[in-house]
Amino acid sequence: MATKTAATEEKINLAEVFSEFKESKNIDRSTMINVIVESFQSVIAKMKGTDEHYNVLVNPDNGDFEIWHNREIVEDDTLTDPANQIALSEALKIDEDYEVGEEITNRVPVTEFGRRAILTLRQTLASKIMELQKENLTRHFKEMVGQIVSGEVYQIWKKEILLIDEDNNELLLPKTEQIPGDFYRKGETVRAIIDHVDDKNNNPKVILSRTSTVFLERLLELEVPEIHDGLITIRRVARIPGERAKIAVESYDDRIDPVGACVGVKGARIHGIVRELQNENIDVINYTPNITLFIQRALSPAKVSSIRLDEANKQASVWLKPEEVSMAIGKGGMNIRLASMLTGYTIDVFRETEGAEEEDDIYLDEFKDEIDEWVINALKAIGCDTARNVLAIPRETLIEKADLEESTVDEVLAILKAEFEEDNN
């Protein structure tokens, strides 16, 4: 089917009219043009009922904007759809060579749509650009999940902090993702990793974290070139944010000491990370696939005498000399908890007893009639599962580690000692 065109001399550059959107939203020219075309097609559809026979063209070089209307030429007495058809007599006024069945295309002045259409177009365009901006933001930050970013504290609320990055993007650091001891003032710079992007209800929020183990891994990559270059691999990380962390590292090059490289000369490399994490103590150990040896290293600085594994249930029973028990457990049970997190095994600590058979011991659960269950659970939390475990630990240590009242500890010790005295009589 032949196509001929008719046009007026008028030219309208709407790309300039909407340039403020491009500049303020940092939208590239080609995307801007596509959005303008889609927006005007939407306005035409609302005003004319359909945009099926309209073409919107924007010149990418100079921004000239044109609307073209395509109509079919029909006999005068068969004209039924003036919006999409034109009578032959009218077509011949434009060009005497037109015939029935041909398509005529003429340019429509923007002024024909009126001021209201232009305002509608602006609103539609602004809405589309906002959607595009949200999509770009979501895609950009989802690709950056797990990476460290920096932002300036802009607003401090009870449950979260609002940060602004160098591109004026808003980032949120929830209270739950802050290290205990973190304290910021407006204008200060904060480093964290991008934990995830919450894009519910088409309102993307970039959520940061300083408590994630990944944050510690990324800090190590920045401080230790051998990790960044792939010469050292971080195999496991366990953290109690702001308190203590254990990291298992491995090197496939025998010439490289992975622990020494991570710590640095006189702790130079690790100290910067410790300061960033509010003086969080960091233990670096050599990784090994030998789970028995790995558990021994994870319980450092305590020296393990023997280990019995239950691989099916991921449990490990560890025996130590009496003077090593408190070190294995750590302050508030922290060392044994981190060791369990690092190895993936539930670790129970037992004291080696001289001249006493294992069957002489009694599990604490057997004393539920005499000792409150919450007290038993507190003792278990510090690695004391049996009566002899408890009796092997100094009274002052029990009070501090289990966080129990002196009177409670004295009562427990009396009950347990009485049990063994009765057995000996």
> For 30-63, what is each residue's pLDDT tens digit?
777 777 787 777 777 777 777 777 887 777 665 5
* Whole-number pLDDT of residue 80: 82
- Closest to 181 measured CA to CA, from 263, 275, 282: 275
Q: In degrees to the nearest 10, what's the CA dihedral of 183, 185, 190, 192?
A: 50
What are the pLDDT digits (tens) for 75-102?
A: 888 888 777 788 888 888 887 888 888 8
Rounded to an integer, the average pLDDT of 123-150 is 85
Is 6 a residue whose pLDDT tops 80? no
Which carries the bigger pLDDT value, residue 231 or residue 9? 231
- Is the entire prediction scored with pTM above 0.75? no
Could you tell me which residues are beta bridge partners of residue 207? 172, 196
Is 14 a residue whose pLDDT tops 60? no
Rounded to an integer, the average pLDDT of 246-250 is 96
Read off the tokens for 13: 């550059």
> pLDDT band at 354, cuts 50/70/90?
low
Counting residues of the chain whose pLDDT is more than 70, the rounded percentage is: 87
What are the pLDDT digits (tens) for 380-410?
A: 878 777 788 788 788 888 888 888 899 999 9
Helix locations, 267-312, DSSP H: 268-276, 291-298
Provide Rg for the chain, Cα atoms.
37
* Whole-number pLDDT of residue 63: 58
The mean of the pLDDT values for the chain is: 83
Which carries the bigger pLDDT value, residue 202 or residue 374? 374
Rounded to an integer, the average pLDDT of 154-177 is 94
| Lowest model confidence (mean pLDDT) among 1-5, 250-254, 410-414 | 1-5
> pLDDT band at 197, cuts 50/70/90?
very high
* Whole-number pLDDT of residue 377: 85
Which amino acid appears at position 151 of this protein? G
Highest mean pLDDT range out of 6-15, 74-83, 340-349, 362-371? 340-349
Helix locations, 176-229, DSSP H: 213-223, 225-228
* Whole-number pLDDT of residue 253: 85
What are the pLDDT digits (tens) for 249-291?
A: 999 888 899 999 999 998 889 999 999 999 999 999 999 999 9
Domains and CATH numbers, the chain: 3-136 (3.30.1480.10), 147-211 (2.40.50.140)
* Whole-number pLDDT of residue 42: 79
* Whole-number pLDDT of residue 252: 85
| Lowest model confidence (mean pLDDT) among 65-74, 189-198, 295-304 | 65-74
- Closest to 209 measured CA to CA, from 190, 193, 188, 220: 193
CA–CA separation, 402 and 409 (whole Å): 9
- CA 111, distance to chain mean position in Å, is 50
CA–CA separation, 277 and 284 (whole Å): 15
- Judge contact between 276 and 219, C-beta under 8 A: yes
* Whole-number pLDDT of residue 423: 55
